[in-house]
Amino acid sequence: MKKLVLIALAGLLVSCSSPTPEVNLYSARKEALIKPLLDAFTQETGIKVNIISASADALLERIKSEGINSPADVLLTTDAGRLHRAKQASLFAPIDSAILHNNIPANYRDGDNTWFGLSLRARPIMVTAKAPESTLTSYEDLVAPELAGQICIRSSGNIYNQSLVASMLAHASASDVEAWAKGLVANMAREPQGGDRDQIRAAAAGQCSVVVANTYYLANMLADSATDDDRTAGEAISVIWPNQQDRGTHVNVSGAGLIKSAPNSDNGIKLIEYLSSDKAQHLYANVNFEYPVKPGVDIHPILAKWGKFKADALPLEKLGENNAEAVKLMDRAGWK
């Protein structure tokens, strides 16, 4: 059914010729989360944004199958690992943009300028009051014997965990990271299941006391729009910023790239540049509860309560380069 809907929407994109300048955005982000940014872009530039929304993997496969006839101008997706996959599939064209270089730090964009991080996501350790917090200052501490049966984390199939392990591979030997992964599996409270919010809910319910999750999930559970149950669960959780004395907390990005066959390439570049602007970065921070990639833009008050932290400065293209090894390592460690 989803495939039919995508085909129908693509047909509309192709057939609806209009004198209005436009850009076709393939987005793996929920439309409700990015609509305010796109509306602001249209209001400012007069360029209409046509959106096709689907999962990241479905969009990647779709653009591949459409080939040079694809109506896609820009792919917007989450995780540097997925952006790297799109680059490896030769879907992106490089962009030479002083605006993007000025707005986005070098470690949050591809070294060949094929994709650009647009919002920053932190994946720290979260704990309840029952956790032995004093022992937790790093990801490496998650294998401590006193945490046996205390850790909730989603599966190894989740790309956020794959990117976390990929980042560790950039800082340590494969044998050390594999030993860590085995220790983490040994300390899990249950077989991995559900998403990040489910780990937080499980911890609040007493099934575990330590969680690894992205901060925007917790922030969403604490927002005014959250359900009472989720807000109660979120209020039971504290954030620990790991590895502040060495490499820093693991971070990732959502980002975008210009499709090589883009029929509206100039408008696509304008859209990506706009999403890196102060105005869009502020909207990102306040609508999605993510951190701006552009330095100097204020963060949401919920995030501010967790304090400042040192982020891992690793060039995020390494997450994609190390992904395959990370997946194999996690499998050998028994991380389901």
Task: Specify binding-site residues for Fe cation.
Answer: 216-217
Residue 298 in tokens: 């204020």
User: In one letter, which amino acid is 200?
Assistant: I
194 with 154: CB under 8 angstroms? yes
Instruction: Please name which of 210, 216, 36 lies closest in space to residue 121, comparing C-alpha atoms.
Output: 216
Angle (CA) 218 224 229, round 5°: 60
Annotated binding site: 216-217
For tokens 């952006």, the residue is 83
For tokens 């380069």, the residue is 321
Instruction: Please name which of 283, 266, 260, 277 lies closest in space to residue 23, comparing C-alpha atoms.
Output: 266
Please give the order of strands across the beta sheet that includes 151-152: 151-152, 210-212, 125-127, 238-240
Q: Which residues contact 257 (CB under 8 A, 6 or more apart)?
A: 74, 75, 83, 86, 87, 91, 92, 93, 95, 110, 114, 115, 116, 272
125 with 211: CB under 8 angstroms? yes
User: Burial code of 295-334, b = ≥16 C-beta within 10 A, e = fewer?
Assistant: eebebbebbeebeebebbebbbbbbbbbbebbbebbeebe
160 with 252: CB under 8 angstroms? yes
DSSP codes, 192-230: --S-HHHHHHHHHTTS-SEEE--HHHHHHHHSTTS-HHH
Cα four-point dihedral sign 155, 246, 209, 178: positive
71 with 10: CB under 8 angstroms? yes
